[in-house]
Amino acid sequence: MPRLTKDARQRILDQNEGFSTRTYYDAKNSREERSYTISGGKLHIRATGRTSWADSHYDEEWIATEEEVHKFLYKHQREMNLDGIE
């Protein structure tokens, strides 16, 4: 695994255009599904979920921060194409 410098992170994102995955979180009073997609050299995140409150459904989308990108790439490094990235 290469060091995840800012330059390396961007190269990984560019090299893995179209990559997507999902994560799920389920607890006693809440449930969340997150979709991660790499598009245009950026990591897009969509979170949908609900809590135990009747009106607490949410559906949010955003472009990942540098910290979120770093954590995502570190966690999913085995699923990504890292050829030529040192």
84 falls within a domain: no
What band does 6 get if pLDDT is binned at 50, 70 and 90?
A: very high
Q: What is the pLDDT, as a whole number, of residue 39?
A: 97
For 69, the enclosing helix (H) or strand (E) is: helix 66-75
Q: What is the pLDDT, as a whole number, of residue 28?
A: 86
Average pLDDT rounded to a whole number, residues 3-19: 94
Rounded CA gap, 42 and 13, in Å? Answer: 6
Of the candidates 66, 80, 77, the one whose C-alpha atom is nearest the C-alpha of residue 6 is: 66
Supply the CATH number for residue 31's domain: 2.20.25
86 falls within a domain: no
pLDDT of residue 86 exceeding 80, the answer is no
21 falls within a domain: yes
Rounded CA gap, 21 and 54, in Å? Answer: 28
The number of distinct structural domains making up the chain is 1
Q: What is the pLDDT, as a whole number, of residue 80?
A: 92
Range of the domain at 50: 6-78
43 falls within a domain: yes
51 falls within a domain: yes
Q: What is the pLDDT, as a whole number, of residue 85?
A: 84
